[in-house]
Amino acid sequence: MLKSVVFDLDGTLIDSAPDLHRAANVVLRSEGLPEITFDQARSFIGKGASVLIERVVESVGLADDPEAHPRLLGKFMREYERDPALTVLYPGVIDALARLELLGCAMGLCTNKPEAPTHIALKHFGLDRHLRAVASADTLPVRKPDPAPLIKVMHDLGGPGLYVGDSEVDAETAERAGLPFVLFTEGYRKSPVEDLPHAYAFDHWDQLPGIVAQHFGALEA
């Protein structure tokens, strides 16, 4: 049977918050504005770069300036793409993807990160060779929590399966797509684990192949 598994990117496969925080503060310094804390930056992640910069603009009191958002977003994207050197894979990701491949899984990605930095990260970490279908924030006219990008990736893989992510947005997206959600608890969620609807949860990637095998095994039985 088809075993599709689709992943979220930030806070799930890669820990990118240190770079998103760094790039935001490079922009704020260039504008002579106060920096934001790491916890603020982390709490702004989940709905894509445009929303992250919206939150940055609000937090430094520039919400009334209509030019602030496009200017800061442009600077932010250039800075973030120029040097994402602090970003790391979560421990065990590559081993887990190799084991999922051996289980016969067809794997894809559905992220709210824009296409350009998504592909830079996938290539840099060698994730691109495992992922047969990808939807980023700007692949379709809508992004998560709209279920359309996730449904498109599942369709490109050949049919519905599991969605693996770290956030409220991911849980909502899976629910709206009618798919079981697998929650990685070590990412950027803001609410307690029990408040996010999920079928399975894991805190280390070495647990995921077992969850996937159990899920599809039960369907086959």
Ligand X SMILES: O=C(O)COP(=O)(O)O
Q: Which of 36, 52, 153, 179 binds ligand X (CB under 6 A)?
A: 52
If one asks whether residue 147 binds ligand X (CB under 6 A), the answer comes out as no
Site for ligand X contains 11 (CB under 6 A)? yes
Nearer to ligand X, 117 or 161 (CB): 117
Question: What is the distance between the alpha carbons of residues 120 and 179, in angstroms, rounded to a whole number?
Answer: 28
Residue 113 sits in the site that holds ligand X (CB under 6 A): yes
CB of 32 to ligand X, least distance (A): 26
8 is catalytic: yes
Q: Which is nearer to ligand X, 48 or 147 (CB)?
A: 48
Pick out residues in 7-66 that bind Mg ion (CB under 5 A).
Answer: 8, 10-11
Q: Please say which residue, 47 or 152, places its beta carbon nearer to ligand X.
A: 47
Interface stretch with Mg ion, choices 88-96, 142-150, 162-170, 211-219 (CB under 5 A): 162-170
54 binds ligand X (CB under 6 A): no
15 marked as binding residue: no
Would you state the structure tokens that stand for residue 98, as one six-digit string?
């190799």
Nearest approach, Cβ of 60 to ligand X (angstroms)? 18
Q: Is the dihedral of CA 70, 43, 27, 87 positive or negative?
A: negative
21 binds ligand X (CB under 6 A): no
Give phi and psi for 180, each to the nearest 5.
-65, 140
Q: Is 95 annotated as a binding residue?
A: no
**195 known ligand binder:** no
Part of the chain binding ligand X (CB under 6 A), chosen from 42-50, 123-131, 152-160, 204-212: 42-50
Q: Write down the catalytic residue from 8, 15, 19, 170.
A: 8
Q: Which residues are catalytic?
A: 8
Residues that bind ligand X (CB under 6 A): 8-11, 45-49, 52, 111-113
